[in-house]
Structure 1
Amino acid sequence: MTDNKTPAAEVAALQPAPRGMGVLKAAFRERRTLAMLLLGFSAGLPFAMLIGTLNAWLTEEEIPVATIGILSWIGLFGAFRFLWSPAVSWTPPLIGKRFGRRRSWLIVLQITIAIALGLVALSHPSAGTLAPLAMGAALGAFAFATQDIVIDAWRIEVADETTPIDLLSTIYQLGYRTAALTGGAGALLLASAIGWPGVFVVGGLLMGVGILGTLIAPEPEPTSRSAVARERRGSPRMRLIVLVATLTAWAWAAFMLVRFMVTALTTSPAPSAGSFTAAWGPWIVGATVVLPAVLAGLIVWKGSAPAAATEATGRSSFADTLYDAILAPLVELMGRLGWGAVIVLGLILTYRITDGVWGPFAFPFYMGDSGGALGHTNAEVALASKTFGVFMTIAGIALGGWALLVIGRMWSLLIGAILSAATNLLMMDLAMGAPVIGGFMQSTRLYDLFGAFQIGEPLARLMLAIAGENIAGGFAGAAFVAYLSALSNKTFGAVQFAVFISLALLIGTLGRGALGELVDAQGYAPMFAIAAWLGLLAVGFCVLEWVRDAAERRKAAARG
């Protein structure tokens, strides 16, 4: 008699993978989703407090907008995180054996962020010196930028068909924006009760949420180093030359940026950030982005030639180890993308510039009283931007997550780029007195709706503009993080994703100092107009990337 039973493993393999919204049901049975939510909170809280809420404190202390713009350059730690991203490939001593590589890094960094927030709490910007505050903020920015590297690598490494990268990226964004609500609106309201130093102490304590997420998170399986060895293209001499050139260029760029920031914060009158950006910005971008990409492309073009000594002995020199950590991820990326890297890099550089370039000036715009600023109070901004606005961002993230699962990644990416560019015009209208928004709300009787909740016309206009801006930003953010995560190779996830995010932050961060001076001279409206025009570049690159991606998929299908 023939046994017609199919083995259980084969039956499981024949079950269709969850699709569309069905992925959600399968995913929320996994502890990875809860860990991702808590780690997203851990990533978003220090960013909200040091890049956003800290500026509200400085605005209250009547620190000039141009100085706030220079202080916002602590965001360059995020823009240049790829410089030290290879370091997280090693396991920290002492706790590494117990918690594993990713989780031990997370614990160390979360404790460091808590300490940095405490140092900011001990500073006194009203005393006329910003050096202690800047040092605490810089330590926190370095630590949270490094934490982001590890969280991004963890997300890429643990993703699978049950918890796909698009879904994990959306959950990460939800956690991140929940932290923005806590570190934004919560901090503004709490400041009225306990003062700004107390707010930053509470922020440090809330980093315990991140530690809880780390303890829940499973440690990913370590990736094989054999894949790294295969990327040792070119002769050992070429690899050494390229490595030295890259490290030298990065060190020079870091020195130039740190020197200017220290000079600007410790001398009076401060040097012009606009002049520095105009003179050195292109060179810094070239040294940190263009040169390494060109050198990695040169290695790819020269072809593979693993070092004979390494192959024979199985051992690597220190230079090979550095190459594996720093340049092999770039070489793999350039080899995989080819000339398409130009399109990918263009998309990454421009996609989030529309928000990032003016983000640090949001509080001065909402709370200031000159240059088209709106003059709202702490409580009003807490309601409009950091409560209502965050809920609107979460709504945008939810829409983005739905779009990723239903209409696909490239459609979502394009729609996000269009919305991000267009909604800057809402803020420009506010800065010009809200002729369009005001007329729209009058004709649609939205003023009456807001009035039913005791919200006056000026605040109602701000809330409507923030709703459009934040829904677009949440949608675009979900699509962008999913796109970058999918673009990263699991073997090189930490470095490649750090490079991608650094590129996304770089241009906008470098431009903030000059924009601060533009606002002081011409008001806020020109800044929003510039952001809207820059957004059109991202739309164009999205179209080109869609064409490139479709062509690559056709080639892969033809190869079978």
Structure 2
Amino acid sequence: MDAAAVGHGAPVTPAIPARRLLPLYLLLGFSAGLPFFMFNAVLLLRLARHDIDIVTIGYFAWVALLPTFKFLWSPMVDRYAVPGFARFWGKRRGWILLSQLGIFASMVGMAFTSSDTDLPLVALFAVLLAFWTTTLEVAADGWRIELAPSQEQQAPIVAANLWGYRSAMVAAGSGAVLIAARSDWTVAYLAIALAAFLPFPVLALTRADPDARGRRWGSLLLGTAAAIPVLAASCAVVALAGWAVLRAADGAGVGSDTNLTPIVMAVALLPFALLALALPRIRRLAPDAPLLRSPGLGPFVDIFWRYGFATLLVLGFVSMYRVGDVLALTLSHPMWDAHGYSLDQIGIADGAVALPASMAGVGLGSWMAAKWRLSWALAAGALVAAMGNWIYVWLWSVPPEGWVLYAGVAVDQFGNGMAGAVFVVYLSMLVNPRFPAAQYAFLSGFAFLLARLLAGASGEMQQVIGYDGFFLLTGAISLAAVIFIPFLARIRSRGDSAGPAEAA
């Protein structure tokens, strides 16, 4: 499970010294981190403050399931260029610029529905925000793996990316809560939308792609004009899909008291289950088989072809490793609200406390990923992350004092950052750099599938076992992932398939 254990083929592009990539990925992490809290923790807190019931709040946590399925559109990010933007900035930055426009528009929509009186409309803009945030991450992750294919190169870039990401999450969470405490949620979302848009002009001023065919300002105008119908079409598709789902649910007699978790789990697991069932056939394929060369399916089939039945072990491990962190994010803010903490205290915890603790954890985790065997680094990350969940059991049992909240958040965020940094490097080492965006999207999406499915049922779980039982359970699930590590350390890649021609 070290670089040798999961090694992949030769890079498709020459590696660039990490020191030149660090400022770039600090900015890209910031670009992706700002909106994440706004459709996740901040939205759930907003709903709680508007007295939306805890079960409905749990269902809104399923918006975070969308990144799990980013593999469905990630091959498009690998294959196609964005009109206008790509003429000057290239394919990867073109997708990033388009995604930032989508993020800004979606967050403005969430700002003007902040009364939460029309929950389907709130859900529409939350899903759009999740979609464009995820698309930005797909493009940035694919570029990162192309430019820095080795474990030693990945670790510092991952640290810079996560520092930017977590700084932005904290800025969004703490900033939005503090602004809402002094004004309202509309102003809070508009302020974060403006902050999220700041990297756009910075990226627009970066150097041209080596294969640039257009001029900077002409490409910017053409790309912005082309983005308008794309954003409108994405809104229409999501609205139509949401309407169809609601009609189908109404026709099936699904109500507020219906247990949706088994249905959602079955739908979410279906594509992964089909690939697993096809594993014996995939394993027998020749390296140049048509299925492996398929632009749509080839990148995903290649993962199962290279690792064989060990792929199931890898998927089982990655699905459990981050459960505690995701579930803590889902119910931590509603728990703080229920325990009597003020918005000011929550804002300080999310900002002044969470940021340095998280960045320290990311720094240590990235250093461990570069210097240690990945198996040892992963085990240490799981242990510290589990402790971060269990600290909330103590927090719930004592009176709501500021220092108690701050201590609990510091431990949680340190463990979250440490485990997250090690985990990103591990997933990157599993990827074939011939099609990095698609494969990293598949693996990282599946890695959060179980956690986000459980997040949607977190409200129901809390009603049964309470907040203390909930956080005790989630920490135990994260720690249980350590059981897989001795077996993962023995896994070796079979080599590389021919792959889609477009990725060559």
Match of 1:483? Answer: 426
CA contact (8 A) 1:31 1:216 kept: no
Q: Secondary structure at the match of 1:421?
A: helix
Q: Please list the CA deviations of residues 56-101 of structure 1 after superposition, one character each: whole Å capped at 9, or x if unmatched.
A: 2222211112111111211111111111111112112233222211
User: CA offset at residue 410 of structure 1?
Assistant: 2.5
User: CA offset at residue 218 of structure 1?
Assistant: 6.9
Q: Distance in 2 between matches of 1:272 and 1:354?
A: 26
Which of 164, 181, 184 is the equivalent residue of 1:195? 184
Q: Distance in 1 between matches of 2:351 and 2:249?
A: 29
Match of 2:46? Answer: 57
Tell me whether 1:389 sits opposite 2:337 in the alignment. no
CA contact (8 A) 2:317 2:481 kept: yes
Task: Write the letter of the residue equivalent to 2:91.
Answer: R
* Identity over aligned pairs, percent: 28
Match of 2:283? Answer: 300
Match of 2:162? Answer: 173
Question: CA 1:219/1:547 → structure 2, altered by over 3 Å: closer, same or farther?
Answer: farther
- Please provide the CA RMSD for this pair: 3.2
Identify which range, 50-59 or 107-116, moves more after superposition: 50-59
Q: Distance in 2 between matches of 1:64 and 1:295?
A: 42
Tell me whether 1:271 sits opposite 2:250 in the alignment. no
CA contact (8 A) 1:353 1:508 kept: yes
Within a 5 Å distance, the mapping from 1:108-123 to structure 2 comes to 108-123=98-113
Question: CA 1:171/1:206 → structure 2, altered by over 3 Å: closer, same or farther?
Answer: same
Task: Write the letter of the residue equivalent to 2:92.
Answer: R
Identify which range, 290-299 or 86-95, moves more after superposition: 290-299
What's the TM-score once normalised by structure 1's chain length? 0.74
Match of 1:503? Answer: 446
Q: Which has the larger radius of gyration?
A: 1
User: CA offset at residue 103 of structure 1?
Assistant: 0.8
Task: Write the letter of the residue equivalent to 2:356.
Answer: F
Tell me whether 1:356 sits opposite 2:345 in the alignment. no
Q: Secondary structure at the match of 1:117?
A: helix
Which of 315, 328, 338 is the equivalent residue of 1:345? 315
Identify which range, 518-527 or 500-509, moves more after superposition: 518-527
Question: CA 1:275/1:517 → structure 2, altered by over 3 Å: closer, same or farther?
Answer: same
Which of 280, 283, 299 is the equivalent residue of 1:329? 299
Match of 2:273? Answer: 290
CA contact (8 A) 2:26 2:161 kept: yes
Match of 1:41? Answer: 30
Task: Write the letter of the residue equivalent to 2:489.
Answer: W
Task: Write the letter of the residue equivalent to 2:384.
Answer: L
Q: Distance in 2 between matches of 1:260 and 1:469?
A: 39
Which of 367, 390, 402 is the equivalent residue of 1:459? 402
Question: CA 1:209/1:485 → structure 2, altered by over 3 Å: closer, same or farther?
Answer: farther
CA contact (8 A) 1:42 1:176 kept: yes
Task: Write the letter of the residue equivalent to 2:487.
Answer: L
User: CA offset at residue 123 of structure 1?
Assistant: 0.8
Tell me whether 1:429 sits opposite 2:394 in the alignment. yes
Identify which range, 296-305 or 348-357, moves more after superposition: 296-305
User: CA offset at residue 323 of structure 1?
Assistant: 6.1
Q: Please list the CA deviations of residues 233-256 of structure 1 after superposition, one character each: whole Å capped at 9, or x if unmatched.
A: xxxxxxxxxxxxxxxxxxxxx99x
CA contact (8 A) 2:361 2:415 kept: yes
Within a 5 Å distance, the mapping from 1:199-278 to structure 2 comes to 199-212=188-201, 214-215=203-204, 262=246, 271=255, 275-278=259-262
Q: Distance in 1 between matches of 2:21 and 2:191?
A: 27
Match of 1:379? Answer: 344
Q: Please list the CA deviations of residues 443-474 of structure 1 after superposition, one character each: whole Å capped at 9, or x if unmatched.
A: xxxxxxxxxxxxxx722222222222111111
CA contact (8 A) 1:52 1:360 kept: yes
CA contact (8 A) 1:420 1:472 kept: yes
Tell me whether 1:129 sits opposite 2:118 in the alignment. yes
Task: Write the letter of the residue equivalent to 1:300.
Answer: R
Identify which range, 282-291 or 354-363, moves more after superposition: 282-291
Match of 1:471? Answer: 414
Q: Distance in 2 between matches of 1:428 and 1:53?
A: 22
Q: Distance in 1 between matches of 2:429 and 2:198?
A: 27
Question: CA 1:179/1:416 → structure 2, altered by over 3 Å: closer, same or farther?
Answer: same
Question: CA 1:304/1:221 → structure 2, altered by over 3 Å: closer, same or farther?
Answer: farther
Q: Please list the CA deviations of residues 181-201 of structure 1 after superposition, one character each: whole Å capped at 9, or x if unmatched.
A: 210111111223332111111
Structure 2 residues not aligned, in runs of 5+: 1-14, 212-237, 496-504
Which of 136, 140, 146 is the equivalent residue of 1:157? 146
Question: CA 1:266/1:492 → structure 2, altered by over 3 Å: closer, same or farther?
Answer: same
Task: Write the letter of the residue equivalent to 1:276.
Answer: L
Question: CA 1:166/1:297 → structure 2, altered by over 3 Å: closer, same or farther?
Answer: farther
CA contact (8 A) 2:152 2:370 kept: no
Question: CA 1:45/1:418 → structure 2, altered by over 3 Å: closer, same or farther?
Answer: same
Q: Distance in 2 between matches of 1:264 and 1:429?
A: 43
User: CA offset at residue 270 of structure 1?
Assistant: 7.0
CA contact (8 A) 2:320 2:447 kept: yes
Task: Write the letter of the residue equivalent to 1:333.
Answer: I
CA contact (8 A) 1:40 1:173 kept: yes
Q: Secondary structure at the match of 1:80?
A: helix
Q: Secondary structure at the match of 2:128?
A: helix
CA contact (8 A) 1:131 1:265 kept: no
Identify which range, 347-356 or 288-297, moves more after superposition: 288-297
Match of 1:20? Answer: none
